[in-house]
């Protein structure tokens, strides 16, 4: 222990002898330290105190600087501080892959120390526009509803928004699991999380053997606010090292930026920074935009950094301050809807509010066709579902729309560890979209046979052949003949025929007839013939019979009615004739 202290003391003295700026601690407020005499100093410069702890400069004032202390022990007024680096840096290296570390780069998985290859600036600047190129390659998420409706391309910035317990972390975990078979390295940053949430994520990654291709950076809820504030920037620095120095495609997940914003707000308020909207500091937008703009695709190595920030939307309010900030920075958003979640659909993706502004450029012709057809089918499904809620009678086409929509949602439903390739997704969607309305499809059986058949598809020429093979295997065997009884809420065939029969037809205007003379026998003409479905009136000299539909006639009246071959309704008048003769 004494040797380590002596080493720290020697390093501290060496920094002073090199002529680095030296200052004195004049104020301590928990982790916020005021130091006088460090000028000239840069923001985010790394500072070392005489006890060996470190901090970085957050604000540069006229006569002092505000330093955020990274140590755990309280500093004392009068202690000496010296500038160690002009920029705050973190340790990076290829050995970080497969490990779980804290914000300072120290291992938390008990697998031994990690030897760094280099250091990288924590608050690095984003690459300029002239060093970037257009995005064109789709990122395989393994989630059918995402890849089929709102795809993401490598290098895109796409936000995941949703209420508490709506499946945001689960969706990000599915994306991480699916990258174990790709060339993409994943950096997963947990910001201000509970221990139970951290253990749940690590358990899923270990069970699926996905941790071998990822780096997990942990910042717990009980650590210093400074660690929570620095966590996303440290994660982005490690991702940039893989992307720019190692020439590897990388994906980073920020889970979640709401906790980061709240920590930054508390730090700013304790630093006496004037609060803005919702008490957040005025540079809250810049803090997130400078972080997310570091993603993209480089022209010199054609490699990408994909950024997925997660943001909490309390009570599904996507118009709040933080969600609108993130949506204006990113290139699209996946919105998790609590109503969809409660309906039992996983992932609970809102197909009406989610959008991707870039993802379509990475799809092929078949995928684009599936996207358009699926969105149209879901729109008609929601419309038919609204009519069904009123309890009204639905047409046959509405029943088909309801059945198709339910089948699509059944295809979209996936467990957290369940992923599908592009070909597997295309086979399922092509069957469901082009399926005949009278077919009976077993989605569970289709998913069981899916992987085996998808391996047989070598090119587009084989697609239809193996799609039909999968469809035949997925049909429900021994399906009974459909009953003639219509489904509940649907008109029967007899009712449809009766409605057509009683439908009023256009009546042609009859030709003019000569006036009748006295004593002439009454003969019905075309104009006096009763309209189909109408009871004829009696002779003018007798009591008038009210016109009513045939369906409304009583049983006694129905016995006096008959219809000839031409469809004309006649009423028997035997009793009336006898009375006239008497």
pLDDT value at residue 491: 46
Helix and strand numbers (H, E) in the chain are 17, 19
User: Token pair 């086409």 is at which residue?
Assistant: 397
Residue of 195, 265, 294, 357 marked active site: 357
pLDDT value at residue 540: 47
pLDDT value at residue 554: 43
pLDDT value at residue 513: 52
Same domain, 167 and 305: yes
Q: Are 20 and 58 in contact (CB under 8 A)?
A: no
Q: Are 334 and 148 in contact (CB under 8 A)?
A: no
CA nearest to 317, candidates 210, 211, 181, 163: 163
The answer as to whether 110 is a domain residue is yes
Query: Helix crossing, 422-433 with 365-389: angle to 10°?
Result: 50
The answer as to whether 36 is a domain residue is yes
pLDDT value at residue 488: 46
Same domain, 253 and 151: yes
pTM assigned to the model: 0.79
**Distance from the first to the final alpha carbon of the chain:** 136
Last residue of a domain, one of 304, 330, 361: 361
Same domain, 198 and 277: yes
The answer as to whether 548 is a domain residue is no
pLDDT value at residue 520: 52
Q: How far is CA 353 from CA 20, 348, 350, 356, in A?
A: 54, 12, 6, 10
Question: Residue 375 maps to which CATH number?
Answer: 1.20.150.20
- Tallying the residues shown for the chain, one arrives at 582
Same domain, 62 and 96: no
Mean pLDDT by 10 residues, the chain (582 residues): 68 88 91 90 90 90 91 89 91 95 92 93 94 94 94 96 93 94 95 94 94 95 90 97 96 95 93 89 94 96 96 92 95 93 90 91 92 92 81 76 89 90 93 76 90 89 90 72 40 44 51 51 50 49 45 45 52 49 50
Cα–Cα distance for residue pair 135/297, rounded to 1 Å: 7
Question: Residue 257 maps to which CATH number?
Answer: 3.40.50.300
Respond yes or no: is residue 300 known to be catalytic. no
**Beta strand pairing call for 296-297 and 159-162:** unpaired
Same domain, 320 and 240: yes
The answer as to whether 13 is a domain residue is yes
The answer as to whether 67 is a domain residue is yes
Contacts 24+ apart (CB under 8 A), 59-65: 59/271, 59/273, 63/36, 64/26, 64/34, 64/35, 64/36, 65/23, 65/34, 65/35, 65/38, 65/39, 65/41
The answer as to whether 561 is a domain residue is no
Q: How many whole angstroms from its chain centre is CA 179?
A: 18
C-alpha dihedral (319, 323, 325, 331), degrees to nearest 10? -110
Residue 544 half-sphere exposure toward CB, CA atoms < 13 A:
4
Same domain, 36 and 174: no
Same domain, 229 and 243: yes
Same domain, 155 and 189: yes
Same domain, 174 and 266: yes
The answer as to whether 403 is a domain residue is yes
Range of the domain at 31: 9-87
| Residue burial 561-580, b: 16+ Cβ < 10 Å; e: rest | eeeeeeeebebeeeeeeeee
pLDDT value at residue 503: 52
Same domain, 232 and 152: yes
Same domain, 184 and 309: yes
Q: Enumerate residues 6+ apart whose C-beta is below 8 A from 237.
A: 89, 90, 92, 120, 121, 122, 124
Specify the number of domains making up the chain. Answer: 3
pLDDT value at residue 440: 76
Same domain, 386 and 440: yes
The answer as to whether 285 is a domain residue is yes
Cβ of 300: how many Cβ atoms within 10 Å? 10
């Amino acid at each position: 222990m004494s040797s380590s202290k002596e080493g720290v003391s020697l390093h501290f003295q060496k920094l002073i002898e090199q002529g680095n700026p030296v200052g004195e601690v004049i104020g301590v407020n928990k982790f916020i330290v005021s130091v006088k005499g460090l000028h000239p100093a840069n923001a985010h410069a790394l500072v070392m105190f005489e006890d060996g702890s470190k901090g970085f400069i957050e604000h540069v004032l006229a006569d002092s600087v505000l330093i955020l202390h990274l140590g755990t022990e309280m500093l004392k007024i009068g202690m000496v501080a010296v500038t160690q680096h002009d920029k705050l840096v973190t340790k990076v290296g290829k050995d970080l892959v497969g490990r779980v570390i804290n914000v300072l780069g120290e291992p938390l998985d008990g697998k031994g120390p990690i030897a760094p290859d280099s250091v990288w600036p924590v608050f690095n600047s984003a690459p300029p526009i002239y060093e970037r190129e257009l995005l064109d390659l789709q990122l395989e998420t393994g989630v059918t509803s995402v890849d089929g409706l709102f795809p993401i391309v490598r290098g895109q910035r796409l936000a995941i928004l949703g209420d508490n317990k709506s499946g945001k972390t689960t969706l990000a975990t599915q994306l991480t699991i699916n990258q174990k078979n790709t060339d993409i390295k994943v950096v997963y940053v947990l910001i201000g999380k509970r221990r139970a949430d951290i253990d749940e994520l690590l358990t899923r990654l270990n069970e699926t053997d996905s941790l071998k291709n990822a780096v997990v950076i942990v910042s717990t809820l009980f650590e210093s606010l400074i660690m929570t504030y620095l966590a996303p920037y440290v994660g982005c620095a490690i991702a940039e090292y893989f992307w720019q120095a190692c020439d590897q495609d990388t994906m980073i997940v920020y889970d979640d930026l709401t906790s980061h914003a709240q920590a930054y707000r508390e730090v700013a308020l304790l630093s006496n920074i004037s609060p803005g909207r919702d008490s957040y500091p005025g540079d809250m937008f810049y803090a997130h935009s400078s972080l997310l703009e570091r993603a993209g695709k480089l022209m010199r190595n054609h490699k990408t950094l994909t950024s997925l920030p997660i943001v909490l939307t309390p009570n599904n309010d996507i118009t709040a301050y933080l969600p609108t900030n993130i949506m204006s920075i990113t290139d699209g958003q996946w919105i998790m809807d609590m109503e969809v979640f409660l309906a039992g659909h996983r992932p609970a993706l809102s197909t009406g509010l989610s959008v991707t502004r870039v993802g379509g450029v990475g799809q092929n012709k078949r995928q684009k066709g599936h996207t358009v057809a699926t969105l149209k089918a879901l729109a008609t499904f929601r419309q038919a579902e609204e009519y069904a809620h009123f309890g009204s009678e639905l047409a046959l086409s509405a029943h088909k729309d309801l059945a198709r929509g339910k089948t699509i949602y059944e295809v979209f439903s996936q467990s957290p560890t369940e992923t599908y390739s592009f070909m597997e997704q295309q086979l399922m969607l092509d069957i469901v979209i082009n399926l005949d309305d009278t077919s009976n499809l077993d989605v569970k059986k289709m998913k069981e046979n899916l992987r085996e058949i998808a391996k047989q598809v070598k090119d587009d020429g084989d697609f239809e052949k193996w799609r039909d093979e999968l469809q035949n295997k997925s049909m429900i065997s021994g399906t009974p003949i459909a009953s003639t009884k219509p489904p509940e809420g649907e008109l029967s065939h007899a009712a449809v025929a009766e409605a057509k029969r009683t439908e009023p037809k256009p009546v042609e205007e009859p030709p003019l007839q000569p006036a009748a003379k006295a004593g002439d026998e009454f003969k019905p003409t075309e104009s006096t013939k009763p309209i189909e479905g109408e009871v004829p009136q009696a002779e003018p000299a007798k009591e008038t019979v009210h016109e009513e539909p045939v369906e409304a006639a009583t049983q006694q009246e129905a016995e006096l009615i008959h219809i000839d071959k031409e469809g004309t309704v006649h009423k028997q008048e035997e009793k009336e004739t006898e009375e006239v003769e008497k």
